A and B are shown apart, each in its own frame.
Chain A
Amino acid sequence: MKWRLLSDMTHKGSYNMAVDEALLQLHSEGKTPPTLRLYRWSQPTVSLGYFQDFHREIDIDGCKRNAVDYLRRPTGGRAVLHDNEVTYSVVIRQELLPGGVLETYRQLSQGLLFGLEFLGIKAELTNEEYKGEISTAACFDSPSAYELVVGGKKIIGSAQTRKQNTILQHGSFLLDWDLDLMLEVFNLKAKDLFVRTMERKATNLRRVCLEMGLDYPKIESINEALIDGFSKALNIELVAGELTAEEKELAQKLMQEKYEDDDWTYHKAIGMGVTR
């Protein structure tokens, strides 16, 4: 099967989320092929899962002091500080990637696993029974099922949404982290515990390379490895492409009307009207 590859895009968070949703919507209508997108963030940005309580999880003053943007994702899961990372997103109709949530997670995670292998890193998928202890609101402090771990520590965290029979899964491959900045932007009851938990349960590419004596790869090599990883895992041909005019237009609209709208950002799960 041929998929489209979108890469080398660095944008602000609200546009990144809007593009992911636009990809989902137009692919669900059969107007575009399945897509793998690789992207980055033009400024550090905290993202919150669909069901998370904004004020409970995020310190807005801390974000403002540190020029950290904040938004709510269309997907589930917990808070992530997007900073030095490569973000991937996959959009595909369920008929083309059948299976329940866990099964599709497993299949897509396999692409990430091969990607890490191409970088010379031996990673593992946590298994279905894996239930990490949840100690804070942040995503990287505990791996859950089918997450990518290196030496038991989470290095890529992913989240999914399913609308109109279409899957959008996106996730963060941590290249490096700034724990001090995380302490500023997450509302944490026990900051020491958070740092210890991150050190124990999570890692990033820079650390892994240091530990394994590998040269830290260039960003192009990281992208390449992920592209090769997904191609191998899903048995697909990725063809470099661009957003269609309709996708661009829809992304602009979603950025302004949804991801930059306070009703969406601060939304609590108390009714409909903001999710469509």
Chain B
Amino acid sequence: MYPKELKYSKDHEWIRVEGNKGVIGITHYAQHQLGDIVFVELPEVGDEFAVNDSFGVVESVKSVSDLYIPVSGVVTKINEDLIDSPELINEDPYGNGWIVEVELTDSSELDQLLDAGAYEASLD
């Protein structure tokens, strides 16, 4: 449910760090809480966000929810498959349901995030 190699935010986003870049998505718990996702609004490549900014919006069951970025960064890739297939977030939240890739502005922010065990414990 919560892969060990990822870091997690309290707002239920995950990040997979590779070098100075991080791929970001929402957790299994978050997609389950949202229910079937039917629309996704993505940022554009080059957009810059500060930690905890809203970087996207999803609609599920007539609820529109903001997504909050777990680290500061500049968007280097977006998952365009989500525009036609938003359900990928529900089906494969850590794989094909990734949302954006960012170049990290301040890698020390990663220290504030939770590891899988701490995140899972926070859900109880």
Binding site for B on A (CB under 8 A): 49-51, 74-77, 99-102, 105, 144-145, 158-165, 269-272, 275-276
Is there contact, CB below 8 Å, between A75 and B64? yes
In addition to A49-B64, A272-B47, 4 A-B residue pairs with Cβ atoms within 8 Å of each other are A76-B63, A101-B60, A160-B62, A161-B64
Is there contact, CB below 8 Å, between A272 and B59? no
Expressed in whole angstroms, the Cα–Cα distance for A20 and B18 within the complex equals 41
The binding surface of chain A is classed by DSSP as loop
Is there contact, CB below 8 Å, between A101 and B61? yes
Is there contact, CB below 8 Å, between A101 and B63? yes
- Tell me the smallest distance from the CB of B123 to a CB of chain A, in Å: 11
A159 to chain B: closest residue by CB: B62
Is there contact, CB below 8 Å, between A100 and B32? yes
- Tell me the smallest distance from the CB of B102 to a CB of chain A, in Å: 14
Which 4 residue pairs across A and B have the least CB separation, nearest first? A100-B33, A160-B63, A77-B62, A269-B41
B34 contacts chain A at the CB level, 8 A cutoff: yes
Is there contact, CB below 8 Å, between B62 and A275? no
| Known contacts A101-B33, A271-B44; A51/B64 CB under 8 A | yes
Of the residues A102, A163, A165, A269, contact of B61 by C-beta under 8 Å? A102
Q: List 12 A-B contacts (CB under 8 A).
A: A49-B64, A51-B38, A51-B41, A76-B39, A100-B35, A102-B35, A102-B61, A105-B63, A160-B62, A269-B57, A272-B43, A275-B54
B55 contacts chain A at the CB level, 8 A cutoff: yes
| Known contacts A76-B64, A100-B34, A144-B62; A275/B44 CB under 8 A | no
A103 to chain B: closest residue by CB: B33
Most chain A CB within a 10 A radius of its CB, from B38, B43, B65: B65
- Chain B residue contacts of A99, Cβ below 8 A: 33
Expressed in whole angstroms, the Cα–Cα distance for A162 and B60 within the complex equals 11
Is there contact, CB below 8 Å, between B63 and A162? yes
- Chain A residue contacts of B59, Cβ below 8 A: 49-51, 76
- Tell me the smallest distance from the CB of A76 to a CB of chain B, in Å: 4
Expressed in whole angstroms, the Cα–Cα distance for A162 and B34 within the complex equals 10
- Tell me the smallest distance from the CB of B54 to a CB of chain A, in Å: 6
Is there contact, CB below 8 Å, between B39 and A269? yes
Of the residues B38, B54, B63, contact of A276 by C-beta under 8 Å? B54
Expressed in whole angstroms, the Cα–Cα distance for A161 and B65 within the complex equals 6
B109 contacts chain A at the CB level, 8 A cutoff: no
- Tell me the smallest distance from the CB of B104 to a CB of chain A, in Å: 19
Is there contact, CB below 8 Å, between B62 and A75? yes
| Known contacts A272-B54, A272-B55; A105/B61 CB under 8 A | yes
A146 to chain B: closest residue by CB: B61
Q: Scoring B residues 29 to 71 as 1 if CB is less than 8 Å from chain A, else 0, what string do you get?
A: 0001111001111111001000000111101111111100000
Is there contact, CB below 8 Å, between B55 and A160? no
Expressed in whole angstroms, the Cα–Cα distance for A271 and B80 within the complex equals 12
Expressed in whole angstroms, the Cα–Cα distance for A271 and B61 within the complex equals 22
